[in-house]
Amino acid sequence: MAVKVAAFYKFVSIDDPSALQTSLREVCAAQEIKGTILVASEGINGTVSGASDAIDTLFAAVRADARFSDLVVKFSETAEHPFQRLKVKIKREIVTFGVPGTEPAALTGELVEPEDWNALISDPDVIVIDTRNDYEFDVGTFKGARNPQTRSFTEFPDYVRRTLSDNRSQKIAMFCTGGIRCEKASSYMLQEGFTNVYQLHGGILRYLEQIAPDESLWRGECFVFDERVALEHGVRPGQHTLCVKCGSPIKRASEGNSDLCERCRDALGGEGA
């Protein structure tokens, strides 16, 4: 039986994160749902998996809360649970950025639907930025996108200050896996005086779900933080796995039968695992 995977987030003020944590944990445990949900005063963020009816029950309960009545969820299917257990955690931020006062619930960039995204990023006057980490960019990205070469999202503000200070009035289009990072990044940039900031609504996952491969400007696969490792068009599991030594994503076809990335193989004198 196929397992249903659901990715979701929403920036919204939460006065009592611990109460929400308890209710989410209870519903998920009762439905044998696995995955991770982060709760903070700024909102919720999670990816979970379970039987189809269990996932439906969870989101019926979540949307019964007026704060999440319009919650957008991105669904996909896989053969097995991509998570080993359930974790519902309280955090300072639902995506760590490290800039106090950044409030996407109050201010964020203009949302661009997947069907309109190609036209926007094909404009030569638009700066297209991948807000994800360097290793995610290497697995796949949009044609013409800039790589900020960050190791974590907390480095993104420094990238903006170093490289984009002269582009405050230029159109800037940003994207990430599910939308959460570019939503926080766009809020920060608007606060810093940028005036034309756009973001891909629903992120790469929604684009891969809705846009046909022959119309797509996406190149490669989309890295995800679970046992699927990477997804391709149709939000299907891709061809990547993780290096057993350092955890870097590697493409099975290009790495042969080795469980090690090229760097780790070189460090071990070319031996496979």
Residues designated as active site: 176
Q: Which residue type, as a one-letter code, is found at position 55?
A: I
- Give the whole-angstrom CA distance, residue 78 versus residue 235: 9
Q: Residue 55 belongs to what H/E stretch?
A: helix 52-63
Spatial neighbors of 34 by CB under 8 A, at least 6 apart, are 48, 49, 50, 81, 83, 84, 85, 86
CB neighbour list of residue 55: distance below 8 Å, 6 or more residues apart = 4, 6, 31, 33, 48, 49, 75
- The whole-angstrom separation of Cα 95 and Cα 5 is 20
Beta strand 127-130 with 172-175 is: parallel
